[in-house]
Amino acid sequence: MRKVLLILTIIICLLLLCNFTEAQVCPTGVICLPNPLNATSFEDIVENIINFIFYLALVLAPLMWIIAGFLLGVSAGDPEKVTKAKRIALYTAIGFFVVMLARALVAVVKRIGS
């Protein structure tokens, strides 16, 4: 199951990062392919990746907290289920904090560099 989710996640990420425009013929007669990442430098690529991960985290973090709350609500006092729900909520908070910190760090480095 985890392998299937990993493969689906990779496919979705690739589809979201690609630009689905057709190849065009340039004025010189050569076929031109558009840049699928819409980035012209390494900094742009890193920024696009971090933005993608940030927006993905904005969607997934609340969902994971809802799942943790649901698991806590239906645990019926079972210590294992309560611990699992708390662990999900804690790891979601830590992951979300790391994503926010990464985006802030990139913004600070860009501001210092310019």
Number of domains in the chain: 1
- 25 pLDDT higher than 70: no
Question: What is the extent of the structural domain holding 66?
Answer: 2-113
Is pTM beyond 0.75? Reply is: no
What is the C-alpha to C-alpha distance for residues 71 and 92, in angstroms, rounded to an integer?
14
- 74 pLDDT higher than 90: yes
pLDDT for res 20: 52
